[in-house]
């Protein structure tokens, strides 16, 4: 569905310290420093996947999304959206794609959302009946209700995000690019948006690429993550795989049916971090010690009544990478 092959984008770089004369000289001589925003990034996202695209500030996330959406031309490399290039088959790709930039609305600020939908429907060539049918479905899903008649500037951020999602979905695209859709939202609005995104993926089969700085978004929504750092792809896989690769400790808390008997000498593949008469908490690195292996050793210390496994928090994992 979404394919990036050795995608690269460089920009001409000027630094804030450059004087006008230096900038003029570089212009006349045709010599510029270049900033590699995205370098040799390759990945494939299949139909129905929900993938998180994450990285620190300035890592190249938005530049990648803009190239995938056909807004920016790559310096080199290739993009395929549903098998076509967004640059050579613009119309085809635009129909397949819905884009939401959390920081910038595509709705007209002073108009009620429904007027913006009329304009967008005309731009996409959607006929009136079809538009009304789609809006009815979206209205129910996104609880648009009275939002439709309210000028966009009067909507709360959470309401505006729902209205923006409807705009991106009006032409029923198969693929959604969402750039920071929960930015600035309070906890309840974030939860609403996450539930909607889950439903769009799960119930409506939309393929979603999500960029966010909110690690809860990623943890709750994306079975797969792509991590970009300094313009290069640093990881492509599951959140669990990322945790394992970084090797932060997994905590295992075991409650025993009676008093726990820890042998005087034991060659453990884990460390004890806390103990009481009938509980022991150990930490181990899942990369080297599978949880089951640790449990097999722990069951020799007493009858196990309960086990609680706590994985490192995703925020922690990400902080570790960057
Ligand atoms: N039009 C441009 N001209 C010059 N440099 C640019 C341009 N757009 C982006 N860059 C640079 O490319 C790099 C990647 O920027 P990009 O906006 O893709 O990062 P990002 O990961 O989306 O960051 P953020 O998390 O802040 O949104 C940055 O160093 C940025 O300054």
**Domain boundaries in the chain?**
2-243, 247-321
Return the residue whose CA atom lies nearest to atom 12 of ligand 1: 37
Alpha-carbon separation of residue 34 from 9, 13, 64, 233, 273 (angstroms): 10, 5, 17, 19, 50
Check residue 281 and give its pLDDT: 95
ipTM of the predicted structure?
Answer: 0.96
Length of the chain: 322
Neighbours of 298 (CB within 10 A): 20
Architecture of domain 2-243: 3-Layer(aba) Sandwich (3.40)
Residues of the chain with pLDDT under 70: 14-18, 26-32
Give the per-residue pLDDT at 253. 95
Ligand 1 closest atom vs CA 38: 14
- For the beta carbon of residue 227, count every other beta carbon within 10 angstroms: 21
Q: Whose CA is nearest to atom 10 of ligand 1?
A: 37
Spatial distance between the Cα atoms of 253 and 306, rounded to a whole number of angstroms: 8
Produce one character per residue of 35-68: b if its CB has 16 or more CB atoms within 10 Å, e if not. ebbbbebebebeeebbbbbbbeeebbbbbbbbbb
Q: Which residues line ligand 1 (CB under 6 A)?
A: 11, 35, 37, 55, 57-63
Q: Which fold has domain 247-321?
A: Alpha-Beta Plaits (3.30.70)
Q: Which of 9, 61, 104 to mutate to test the pocket of ligand 1 (most atoms within 8 A of CB)?
A: 61
Atom of ligand 1 nearest to the CA of 213: 25
pLDDT at position 14 is 63
Q: Quick one: CA torsion of 208, 212, 218, 220, rounded to 10 degrees?
A: -80
H/E stretch holding 8 reads strand 2-13
Residue nearest to atom 23 of ligand 1 (CA): 58
Instruction: Report the pLDDT value the prediction gives residue 223, as an integer from 0 to 100.
Output: 93
pLDDT at 240: 84
Token couple for 111:
């108009």
Q: What share of the chain is helix, strand, coil (3-state, %, to 5)?
A: 40, 30, 35
C-alpha span between 116 and 114 (Å, rounded): 5
Q: Is residue 192 helix, strand or coil?
A: helix
Distance 58 CA to ligand 1 centre (A): 5
Q: Whose CA is nearest to atom 29 of ligand 1?
A: 58
Residue 36 CA to ligand 1 center (angstroms) comes to: 10
What does the DSSP 8-state code read for residue 278? Answer: S
* Residue having the nearest C-alpha atom to atom 18 of ligand 1: 60
Ligand 1, closest atom to CA 64? 18
pLDDT of residue 30: 62
């Amino acid at each position: 569905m979404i394919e990036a092959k050795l995608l690269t984008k460089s920009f001409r770089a000027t630094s804030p310290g450059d004087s006008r004369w230096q900038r003029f000289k570089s212009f006349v001589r045709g010599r510029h420093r270049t900033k590699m925003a995205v370098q040799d990034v390759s990945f494939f996202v299949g139909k129905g996947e929900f993938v998180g695209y994450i990285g620190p500030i300035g890592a190249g996330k938005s530049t990648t999304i803009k190239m995938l959406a056909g807004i920016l031309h790559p310096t080199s490399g290739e993009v395929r959206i549903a098998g076509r290039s967004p640059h050579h088959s613009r119309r085809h790709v635009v129909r397949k794609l819905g884009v939401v930039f959390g920081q910038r609305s595509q709705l007209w600020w002073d108009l009620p959302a429904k007027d913006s939908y009329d304009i967008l429907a005309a731009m996409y060539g959607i006929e009136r009946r079809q538009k009304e049918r789609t809006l009815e479905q979206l209205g129910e899903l996104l609880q648009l209700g009275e939002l439709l008649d309210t000028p966009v500037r009067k909507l709360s951020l959470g309401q505006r995000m729902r209205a923006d999602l409807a705009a991106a979905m009006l032409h029923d695209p198969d693929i959604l690019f969402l750039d920071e859709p929960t930015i600035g939202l309070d906890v309840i609005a974030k939860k609403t948006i996450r539930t909607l995104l889950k439903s769009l993926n799960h119930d409506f089969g939309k393929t979603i690429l999500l960029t966010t700085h909110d690690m809860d978004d990623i943890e709750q929504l994306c079975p797969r993550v792509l991590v970009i750092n300094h313009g290069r792809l640093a990881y492509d896989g599951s959140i669990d795989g990322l945790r394992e690769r970084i090797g932060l400790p997994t905590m295992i808390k075991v409650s025993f049916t009676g008093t726990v008997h820890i042998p005087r000498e034991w060659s453990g593949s884990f460390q004890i971090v806390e103990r009481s008469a009938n509980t022991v908490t150990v930490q181990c690195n899942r990369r080297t010690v599978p949880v089951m292996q640790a449990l097999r050793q722990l069951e020799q210390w007493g009858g196990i009544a309960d086990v609680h496994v706590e994985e490192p928090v995703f925020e922690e994992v990400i902080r570790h990478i960057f």
